[in-house]
């Protein structure tokens, strides 16, 4: 992991933190709709291009790197929570490459703050990719092979979660 890349992620995390940590007034009747219509956090913070570049670099290194590289990237996502929650690929998971990129992100986030949220995201991604005609099984197996094997929250490791989604 280069110090420059971590410094970039740290700066992005700082820029995104006020948005990611902003309180939500659940008593306001239209809070869900307002959240849906709000621009993405990276746009609100004015860091969309930098975030996309940093994420592309991280996911490339994660997918091509050795276990120590992947562990360092997982640690980076664990440390920079605002970055982790706000930065994701800009494209839908409608091709094999795009689906793989999204799975690499889930793997690198290594269950994030809540496995349930990651499971919902994974289910949506699999549905989206399958609907676009992507053969998801081989890609799920490939990314599972390089994923973490630690059960952080009692719901299985990222590796086992990905493998559980392989169609039978």
Can you give the pLDDT of all 168 residues of the chain as single tens digits?
678 999 999 999 999 999 998 888 899 999 889 888 999 999 999 999 999 999 999 999 999 999 999 999 999 999 999 999 999 999 999 999 999 999 999 999 999 889 999 999 999 999 999 999 999 999 999 999 999 999 898 899 999 999 999 998
Q: Could you tell me the two tokens for 94?
A: 């409608």
Burial tier of 84 (Cβ tally within 10 Å: 0-12, 13-18, 19+): buried
Residue 144 has phi, psi (to 5 degrees) of -60, -35
Residue 11 CA, chain-centre distance (Å), reads 18
Rounded to an integer, what distance in angstroms lies between the CA atom of residue 81 and that of residue 3? 18
Give the Cβ contact number of residue 53 at 10 Å. 12
* Residue spans per domain, the chain: 1-87, 91-168
């Amino acid at each position: 992991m280069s110090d420059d890349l971590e410094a970039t992620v740290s700066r992005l995390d700082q820029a995104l933190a006020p948005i990611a940590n902003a309180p939500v007034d659940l008593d306001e009747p239209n809070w869900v709709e307002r959240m849906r219509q709000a621009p993405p956090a990276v746009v609100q913070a004015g860091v969309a291009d930098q975030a996309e570049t940093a994420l592309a670099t991280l996911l490339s290194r994660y997918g091509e790197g050795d276990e120590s590289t992947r562990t360092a990237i997982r640690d980076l996502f664990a440390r920079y929570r605002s970055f982790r929650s706000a930065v994701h690929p800009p494209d839908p998971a409608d091709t094999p490459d795009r689906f793989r990129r999204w799975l690499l992100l889930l793997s690198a986030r290594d269950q994030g703050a809540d496995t349930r949220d990651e499971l919902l995201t994974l289910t949506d991604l699999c549905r989206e990719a399958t609907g676009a005609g992507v053969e998801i099984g081989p890609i799920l197996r490939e990314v599972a092979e390089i994923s973490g094997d630690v059960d952080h929250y009692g719901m299985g490791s990222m590796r086992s979660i990905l493998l559980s989604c392989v169609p039978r």
